[in-house]
Structure 1
């Protein structure tokens, strides 16, 4: 038996078979679509297949959906399969045993296992990309914690030139005079609406570097591992004073939480 369900932003059809239920999804699995789809999947506690062969974008929200559904189905004694997608985070779920099967796109040529450091770099790169989409910010960077020096090191960035990158190449986790250093020390997000009048920057060398880089507002969010340890940081920057609204803060917090679940 097959039927369709109404989910804003995506197309969903369901085929119920005696031994399993197949959910065919087409479109972009952004956060709004995921919330709606999650409601439709809440009653499925048997063997379930998610067919993502026509999904054009997965993202953090889509990965979180798969993880939650996998937990739900497994708790009921069922199994979850994901079809037709080649996503590194879904591969990680499969490799860790949380998905029974993951069928990747043909000809991907991608190994099923990656070194932890490479995976973490990719996590932070995707986290930064998501944060920039959420905020619309033109500049940003992501950092990983170097366990040997206990400092944050930039692994990916957008919109900055060498003087900024040289100055913030390594930031101590107890450093003052930077939003990312303060966020690392507090293990909490730091939002600066105007760098020029924020006491965190006034009179510091960082203030001059930010001025030269054209930065007037910054948001830095720590990424914490499942154990609660600092693993990385992503920051978004605006060239004008900016009010970080509650909606944007919630979205950025979601990105940080999702990245923390994936990072090792």
Structure 2
């Protein structure tokens, strides 16, 4: 059976058998690869197998794709199996009954499910990486909600030094003077095109911190669970005034929504 290259870094081959269809995948299952793989899966609804034994990386977009395909196959009365990958987020899907079968790498079947917090940190780290890619922003951070204190805590970041991280380490979900606190309170995205001219920041301690960090524009998007609860926040920052195009806003919204589907 020959492998056909669909996009750089991934190879896909479909084997249609009488009792099932097996989709063999090799390479990195990142955002670009998911677009190509989604096309291969469009016409397969029953008794589908995803063979990931030659997949070297399963990104957030890849897990979101498996989740969507599982729902599609189940709605059609079929079954979905995933072969050859051991990922805590896919294990959670299997244990919750959303994924019929998960065949893992040899010798790793005895592992227990990763704690929810570790899994959520992984989701947010990949979500931040995706948000920075779609915006081209040099700086950003991801936060998870601490339900006990109702505050957002930074779990991963890119491009910031300690004064910024210390100031925004914990942000109340109704705090004034931050896009993340405002976005959390409103449960909607907040875009600030120029920090120096924004009523949200003018005259607040946060304005000085952002100035010192070289931040002139920021966008914060709440990450909501499937049940509609706030789980965390994604923020991207620019060193110059910035206008986010509708296309970029849609891409950011997709990243936040995908992260919310994976948060547990």
Is contact 2:125–2:156 with CA below 8 Å preserved after alignment?
yes
Aligned residue number for residue 13 of structure 1: 13
CA-to-aligned-CA distance 1:137-183 (integer Å, 9 cap, x gap): 22111111111221111122222111111111211111111110111
Moved more, 253-262 or 6-15: 6-15
Q: Secondary structure of 2:131's match? A: helix
Aligned residue number for residue 214 of structure 1: 214
Aligned residue number for residue 103 of structure 2: 103
The structural deviation recorded for 1:106 is 4.0
CA-to-aligned-CA distance 1:96-138 (integer Å, 9 cap, x gap): 1211222233455883412222222222222112212222222
The structural deviation recorded for 1:230 is 0.9
Aligned residue number for residue 189 of structure 1: 189
User: Partners in 1 of 2:119 and 2:178 — Cα distance?
Assistant: 26
Aligned residue number for residue 236 of structure 1: 236
User: Partners in 2 of 1:118 and 1:246 — Cα distance?
Assistant: 33
Aligned residue number for residue 145 of structure 1: 145
Closer, same or farther: CA 154–4 of 1 in aligned 2, 3 Å: closer
Closer, same or farther: CA 121–50 of 1 in aligned 2, 3 Å: same
Moved more, 173-182 or 107-116: 107-116
Aligned residue number for residue 127 of structure 2: 127
Please list, as runs of the form range in 1=range in 2, the aligned pairs for 1:75-114 lying within 5 A after superposition.
75-106=75-106, 111-114=111-114
Is contact 1:151–1:171 with CA below 8 Å preserved after alignment?
yes
TM-score scaled to structure 2, two decimals?
A: 0.90
Aligned residue number for residue 45 of structure 1: 45
> Does residue 245 of the first structure (1) align with residue 238 of the second (2)?
no
RMSD between aligned alpha carbons? Answer: 2.1
> Does residue 168 of the first structure (1) align with residue 168 of the second (2)?
yes
Structure 2: gaps (5+ residues): none
User: Partners in 2 of 1:223 and 1:110 — Cα distance?
Assistant: 32
Aligned residue number for residue 255 of structure 1: 255
Aligned residue number for residue 205 of structure 1: 205
Moved more, 38-47 or 156-165: 38-47
Is contact 1:23–1:51 with CA below 8 Å preserved after alignment?
yes
Is contact 1:179–1:218 with CA below 8 Å preserved after alignment?
yes
Closer, same or farther: CA 65–189 of 1 in aligned 2, 3 Å: same
TM-score scaled to structure 1, two decimals?
A: 0.90
User: Partners in 2 of 1:119 and 1:37 — Cα distance?
Assistant: 24
The structural deviation recorded for 1:18 is 2.0
Closer, same or farther: CA 221–28 of 1 in aligned 2, 3 Å: same
Structure 1: gaps (5+ residues): none
User: Partners in 1 of 2:148 and 2:39 — Cα distance?
Assistant: 44
User: Partners in 2 of 1:177 and 1:123 — Cα distance?
Assistant: 27
Q: How many aligned residue pairs are there?
A: 263
Is contact 1:139–1:157 with CA below 8 Å preserved after alignment?
yes
The structural deviation recorded for 1:40 is 2.9
